[in-house]
Amino acid sequence: MRIDQEFQIRSDDWSWQLLGHAETDLFVRIVSDRYDFSSMVFSDFRIHMAHGELIHRALDVVRSHFHGPAAGMQIKFLDIMPVAPGEVLDKEVLVARHDQIVDALRKHGAAHDYCVSNSILNYRAGKYETTVTTA
């Protein structure tokens, strides 16, 4: 399904996906239940090459299909910086990706009556994830 020629939506048995045009490299995959009011899990949130307004519109599309992002949620972004075996992790890029995710939610929340009350960058099971709590 296409949305305003800007995004394509697809889903399978275990996830919902939003794709931007190839030049933006925007890709969002959500693996949580779309009817969950308290949490969301993004297994992919590839936004680092997209501009802020496109990210905001992508979150609006997500919000039109799910109950969030919204106030009172815990939102997890899994494996925010995949690293191939033997590849050296660039910690500055890792922190910048975490900050970009948090900033995107802060800006989106300002327009939709929620705010980021806490954010954590975790290392779990050999991967880095961002957990955001909203109020």
Beta strands in 31-125 (DSSP E): 39-46, 74-77, 116-124
Give me the sign of the Cα torsion angle 15, 120, 129, 62. positive
Please state the φ and ψ torsions of residue 106, each to the nearest 5 degrees: -60, -50
Two structure tokens written together for 36: 């969950």
CB 8 within 8 A of CB 19: yes
Q: pTM of the full predicted structure?
A: 0.93
Q: Tens digits of per-residue pLDDT, 39-94? A: 999 999 999 899 999 999 999 999 999 999 999 999 999 999 988 888 999 999 99
Contacts of 119 (CB under 8 A, 6+ apart): 98, 102, 130, 131, 132, 133
Contacts of 14 (CB under 8 A, 6+ apart): 31
pLDDT at position 1 is 62
In terms of residues, how long is the chain? 135
Preceding omega of 69 cis (within 30 degrees of 0): yes
d(CA 103, CA 98): 9
Q: Tens digits of per-residue pLDDT, 114-131? A: 999 999 999 998 899 999
Taking Cα atoms as reference points, which of 16, 23, 109, 15 lies closest to residue 6?
A: 23
